[in-house]
Chain A
């Protein structure tokens, strides 16, 4: 089973700043299998990035993903008030289980 570790646990930034969220896998994963979701309080998660770097439909271009092997990053440029939420990375491999990181809370400073 692939274990995903996200850091930091909480990130405090101001609107307009850049956020860098990290996700480290316990072993190398294919870039196709790394996904990012956003979850706001009281809402279901929303697909943001799939295949490491591909934005989902309707996702603003200030969101970008990168990485390979065991280290992956979600970057959010020019933070907007609506971007403050919890972000999860996910590994969807060729065989189960499908695993999630524990999440990074992005909060307003």
Chain B
């Protein structure tokens, strides 16, 4: 079964840091792009970051609101994606989804992990 399982969410004070993890199974993680998407409570979806696979040098892209504060990384030996959240703001509060990025679409989504900055 293709699966993404996020962890690491929690309550943190403004200015604090948190590291989210996402463990993948059931597909070729090493040769996949993977992204983070977030959703504030009752609001829409917001793309956060993407990391390409090794063939593209694990190139990273970020949304403007998080650039310079968040870092996306991956450990292919562990089939795991990470998101380091630094200098957190209250507006970073929400559910963070890990997604498998396949040819211009997000075809697999994790269940999400909740980050609360307060």
Contact = CB atoms under 8 A, between A and B. Distances in A.
The binding surface of chain B is classed by DSSP as strand
Nearest to B106: A47
A32 interface: yes
Interface residues of A, number: 23
A105 to B, nearest CB: 11
Interface residues of B, number: 20
A44 B109 contact: yes
B109 to A, nearest CB: 4
Contacts, number: 58
Nearest to A32: B104
B111 A44 contact: yes
B110 interface: yes
Interface in B22-75: 35, 44-47, 50, 61-64
Contacts of A92: 104-105
B44 A96 contact: no
B97 to A, nearest CB: 6
Contacts of A102: 44
Nearest to A50: B105
The winner among B45, B63, B105, B107 for most chain A CB atoms within 10 A is B105
Interface of B: 35, 44-47, 50, 61-64, 97, 103-107, 109-112
